[in-house]
Amino acid sequence: MPPGARAYAGRVAQIEDLRALIALDHGLATVSTVRPDGTVQSTVVNAGVVPHPVREHPVAAFVARRGTRKLANLRADPRTTLVWRAGWAWMTVEGTVELCGPDDPLAGVEAERLRTLLREVFQAAGGEHEDYAEFDRVMAAERRAAVLVTPTRIYQNP
């Protein structure tokens, strides 16, 4: 072991561990994408964990509005990092992205499934709505997309 390194026998983080952390702060997460010039662009989103709409494995997910930089960046380079925190606890998911929306169709996801997926992602991130018909209308009008992140690496503070 290199000098100054610490050995730590912590449990390996799993995506399912995120649910407890998400509940502590409304699913607020920082999402980072890569701009065309290679610099990092970061913003705050509400993100949760849902089953992938086609393959059903758990993915981190958030909803993005048409025309945002993060969507443009993810279309060009489908890699992202999400970091959630609540107090001193934090968890990071690095992964590959699939987009699922009216401007980014995902094979196997029809319009009705997209409508319910956007609700599932919103709810998994701690969202609640009084009028889901209105929620659905706004999601469609704003051409929102679900951003699905399949983890390649997950880590957290000990």
Amino acid at residue number 61: A
Weakly modelled stretches of the chain, pLDDT under 50: 1-9
According to the model, what pLDDT value does residue 8 have? Answer: 44
According to the model, what pLDDT value does residue 140 have? Answer: 96
Q: What distance lies between CA 155 and its chain's CA centroid?
A: 15
User: 33-44, pLDDT tens digit by residue?
Assistant: 999 999 999 999
Amino acid at residue number 62: F
According to the model, what pLDDT value does residue 10 have? Answer: 58
According to the model, what pLDDT value does residue 132 have? Answer: 94
User: 24-33, pLDDT tens digit by residue?
Assistant: 888 999 999 9
Residue at token pair 């399949």: 150
CB 82: neighbour CB atoms within 10 A?
23
Contact in structure between 50 and 120 (CB atoms under 8 Å): yes
Amino acid at residue number 30: T
Domains of the chain, CATH where assigned:
15-156 (2.30.110.10)
According to the model, what pLDDT value does residue 11 have? Answer: 64
Contact in structure between 48 and 121 (CB atoms under 8 Å): yes
